[in-house]
Structure 1
């Protein structure tokens, strides 16, 4: 059986890569886009992958134009590969192509606030795999597709499988428990209602940390223009700044960090599962984070500069973080196995027809 996988972000590239090991009897190939560190990470983790198109930018017209180009390219590729099923983290481009040529779709989603993407993709899927804490937000789609919830969050897939290695931060000149990770927000996404906050809020917190502590800061911008703005905004602290410019499994960096600040969701989720305090500056509700917080994992929103010292002073140790990581592995289901089970079910049904 041949399976086509589409991954639009580094998180998705990583998550779906484990299907290759979970289902070794299947033949997988990945499509992704030229965005962030997708290409570099795919080269590390996938046996067969294709970079098709790029991010459509911030304007509606740009997004539509690039989507149409990608769909045409994906169609040509898929016709040559003839896959039996498709797995996607709600990519409108790949879902439209797969559905159009009769390839069954397994979709995954954990962002109910991304409503337009959900409307474009979920009705085309045979099954939608979602974390239990957000399942209720997708109930309206139950008449169009089967909703398959699992206990936990997608990030457990690699947090549970990865043994943190302190050589990774040290290779970047970072001392364990003496640096902070800062990730800017996805300002070009339609659901980011305050694009300026994607950069300005993390930047403000970074300046505070550099002024009040002697820690280094690992910066992980999403776009070249964000990197330029960060370098300009943090001028004078160059000796304590490190820009992440190579593909890494971030668990190694998050585990040994003192704090993580991010304008998105994934890195905050990963860090909290590892016992590293995480602050999300996303200007909206993140249901997955509320779920983790209720289960005792250290993820915070709405944090002000006045609250930062308390979070930075929180007791942390390698042993303590390992206990939190073990708790996450025990408490939650493995999402990769859940996705694999749904994929096998669909392919089994297809063989009967």
Structure 2
């Protein structure tokens, strides 16, 4: 089987890395295309995954349109030459149309249960839309629902075991109390008008946590000078090892909040997505498993931070909550592997 993976964001590398390794080990032909956005390329190289970089992130609407056009032409040409059986990736028009124009099955993964204007011109051409069971949307006959959080593709214990020795190489003692903060830019097209922590609240959170332990900050944007001393000391491909041993995660990021929760780390998420109708995966993590706390009001988020930090007996309780998720949810990578082989005509 020939499989083409179009990976244009760091989270996509994590999502597909294990199934890519499994496919390669099974003798299948895999081609990866990438986008130079944040640490996407760094992750691929750290994992030893060969790839073809199609474009780099551009700013502004005109820049995005130009980049998208360039990506489309390049990906179609590559796909036609490679002649894949399947094209897999997060849902996006470029990947879907490249699959259609090369005769491949478009297997797309959707990680949020809201639709954008692009959905109308993309979804009808998808062969399989891989979505969590709990999503409150109807995508018709292409739906492939799985009772799982997609982040389990790389955080399920069958595929990931946190290693404290990797942290020690960067001067981090996993037994000491530390906190991981994640601040994002909210500039993607699907973020449309949403926002995270204000600059003032970021300072307040850092000041509070700095008195209780070591603070590490990871950010999509350049860190402000005042936060430089808290810069994440480990390379991007070790972030989940750091998260796994953290005493608390705080951020306005969508993905990393889920990752922290699934690793059994108390997680607080605050952004305007949580103000009103929140996304189904966050609701389930909070209401069903009590692993995540989401707030549209940053002041309420800060109050929760102080209440959790005041407790030093959280880990055993959170480990039990995490284990329940592992017991009840599907192993995403194994499930993906079966699906790809089926759609690729192998089984």
Q: Shorter chain as normaliser: what TM range?
A: 0.7 to 0.9
Partner of 1:13: 13
Are positions 1:180 and 2:173 aligned together? Answer: no
Candidates 22, 34, 37, aligned match of 2:36: 34
In structure 2, the CA distance between the partners of 1:25 and 1:331, relative to structure 1 (3 Å rule), is: same
Partner of 2:64: 63
Aligned to 1:181, the other structure's residue is in SS state strand
Residue 214 of structure 1 and its aligned partner are, at CA, apart by: 3.8
Q: How does 1:118-129 map to 2 (within 5 A)?
A: 118-129=119-130
Query: CA RMSD for the aligned pairs?
Result: 2.5
In structure 2, the CA distance between the partners of 1:347 and 1:304, relative to structure 1 (3 Å rule), is: closer
Supply the distance in 2 between the matched residues of 1:34 and 1:253 (Cα, whole angstroms).
Answer: 24
Supply the distance in 2 between the matched residues of 1:256 and 1:245 (Cα, whole angstroms).
Answer: 13
Deviations 1:188-225 (A, max 9, x none): 112324455366376245334245x242221111133x
Are positions 1:291 and 2:288 aligned together? Answer: no
In structure 2, the CA distance between the partners of 1:251 and 1:67, relative to structure 1 (3 Å rule), is: same
Residue 131 of structure 1 and its aligned partner are, at CA, apart by: 0.7
In structure 2, the CA distance between the partners of 1:46 and 1:88, relative to structure 1 (3 Å rule), is: farther
Partner of 1:192: 191
Partner of 1:247: 236
Supply the distance in 1 between the matched residues of 2:195 and 2:155 (Cα, whole angstroms).
Answer: 31
Residue 87 of structure 1 and its aligned partner are, at CA, apart by: 0.6
Aligned to 1:261, the other structure's residue is in SS state strand
Supply the distance in 2 between the matched residues of 1:111 and 1:246 (Cα, whole angstroms).
Answer: 27
Residue 288 of structure 1 and its aligned partner are, at CA, apart by: 0.6
Candidates 214, 219, 222, aligned match of 1:221: 219
Aligned to 1:78, the other structure's residue is in SS state helix
CA contact (8 A) 2:218 2:232 kept: yes
Are positions 1:344 and 2:341 aligned together? Answer: yes
Aligned length: 334
TM-score, normalization: structure 2?
Answer: 0.86
Q: How does 1:1-353 map to 2 (within 5 A)?
A: 1-23=1-23, 24-57=26-59, 59-113=60-114, 115-134=116-135, 136-137=136-137, 139=138, 141-142=139-140, 145-160=141-156, 161-176=159-174, 177-194=176-193, 197=196, 200=199, 203-210=202-209, 213-224=211-222, 227=223, 229=224, 231-232=225-226, 234=227, 238=229, 241-244=230-233, 246-284=235-273, 285-302=278-295, 303-316=300-313, 322-348=319-345
Supply the distance in 2 between the matched residues of 1:70 and 1:202 (Cα, whole angstroms).
Answer: 38
Residue 347 of structure 1 and its aligned partner are, at CA, apart by: 2.0
Residue 286 of structure 1 and its aligned partner are, at CA, apart by: 2.7
Unaligned runs of 5+ in 2: none
In structure 2, the CA distance between the partners of 1:199 and 1:54, relative to structure 1 (3 Å rule), is: farther
